[in-house]
Amino acid sequence: MRNLLLTLAFDGTAYHGWQVQANAVTVQQTVQDAAERICGRREPLTGCSRTDAGVHANEYCCTLRTESSVDCATLVQALNALLPRDIAVSACREVPPDFHPRYDCTAKEYVYRIWNAPQKHPFLYKYAYHFKYPLDAGLLHAEAQAYCGTHDFSAFCAAGGSVEDHVRTVSAAAVEREGDLVQFRVSADGFLYNMVRIMTGTLLEIAGGKLPPGCIPAILASGERSAAGFTAPAHGLFLNHVSYAPDGCGEGDYGRE
């Protein structure tokens, strides 16, 4: 039995997130169907995170445990040939049998994209949230620094998550403008259910004057979801990078070619 680490990218528009569900098409099920056709049997596929319906990934890692002897380059080619156009496989490599794409992940980076112009963008409507009123990226960048560090993020966690420990460490948070596109980039050792989308909604409510500047430490301290901002829509969110430190020997880019 080999354990193969696959790196994917996908347009999440058409999918109900990663994880297999009854009566809904998911990325996991779609990749598993393609792998089954190649490997000749249905093999377990484990993802690095559940992602919400409609969320995209520039980089997503999962492992396929397979009895098949197919080599990695052939598997990448064959998966890409069988998968629909909105899921692409960029890499495959064999990892130790006990490697787990979620538990061995040391950090993830998400990017939330905001199209910040009065008029909609006809090419980005599925890949960025349209926010019409001018954003001060410098102000939001300063506000976002309050997310950094180790905090209980209960206020930034939607109801329905199954995780009990809400303490996470955010290692970096940044808001940058490039033309009319404003991007919120955040890295952490892990994220709670809807956490990045609520972090984004909170920044947008500060920008719009609904929440006061400097409010994030108090929201964190409250632990109350109702104290934070709205949940920004899924279609602006991209899982951007997944980091692994294989064999405990320092920060690695195991998921990347």
Q: Is 9 in the site for a second copy (CB under 8 A)?
A: yes
CB atoms within 10 A of CB 197: 25
Stretch binding a second copy (CB under 8 A), from 36-44, 118-126, 144-152, 223-231: 118-126
Give the span between the Cα atoms of 134 and 90, in whole angstroms. Answer: 37
168 or 235: CB nearest a second copy: 235
Build a one-symbol-per-residue string for 49-78: x at contacts with a second copy by CB under 8 A, - elsewhere.
-------x-------------------x--
81 or 167: CB nearest a second copy: 81
Tokens of 92: 């495959």
122 or 179: CB nearest a second copy: 122
Query: Applying CB under 8 A, which of residues 19, 29, 32, 80 lies at the interface with a second copy?
Result: 80
Residues 6 or more apart whose CB falls under 8 angstroms from that of 79 comprise 6, 31, 34, 35, 38, 89
Query: Applying CB under 8 A, which of residues 3, 11, 111, 156 lies at the interface with a second copy?
Result: 11
Q: Is 89 in the site for a second copy (CB under 8 A)?
A: yes
Q: Is 103 in the site for a second copy (CB under 8 A)?
A: no
Identity of the amino acid at 96: P
Q: At what angle do helices 72-82 and 27-39 cross, to 10 degrees?
A: 120
What value, to the nearest 5°, has the Cα angle with vertex 164 and ends 159 and 166? Answer: 80
Confirm whether 71 is a catalytic residue.
Answer: no
Q: Is 120 in the site for a second copy (CB under 8 A)?
A: yes
Give the span between the Cα atoms of 126 and 207, in whole angstroms. Answer: 23
Q: Site size for a second copy, by CB under 8 A? A: 19
Stretch binding a second copy (CB under 8 A), from 33-41, 119-127, 159-167, 196-204: 119-127
DSSP 135: P
Catalytic residue among 52, 136, 189, 253: 52
Stretch binding a second copy (CB under 8 A), from 42-50, 81-89, 141-149, 183-191: 81-89
CB 231 within 8 A of CB 203: no
Q: Is 181 in the site for a second copy (CB under 8 A)?
A: no
Identity of the amino acid at 167: V
52 closest CA partner among 205, 200, 171, 204: 200
Stretch binding a second copy (CB under 8 A), from 114-122, 149-157, 190-198, 242-250: 114-122
CB 32 within 8 A of CB 45: yes
Q: Is 85 in the site for a second copy (CB under 8 A)?
A: yes
Up-side HSE of residue 42: CA atoms within 13 Å toward CB? 5
Q: Is 178 in the site for a second copy (CB under 8 A)?
A: no
Identity of the amino acid at 75: L
Catalytic residue annotation: 52
Applying CB under 8 A, the residues found at the interface with a second copy are 9-11, 56, 76, 80, 85-90, 119-123, 125, 127
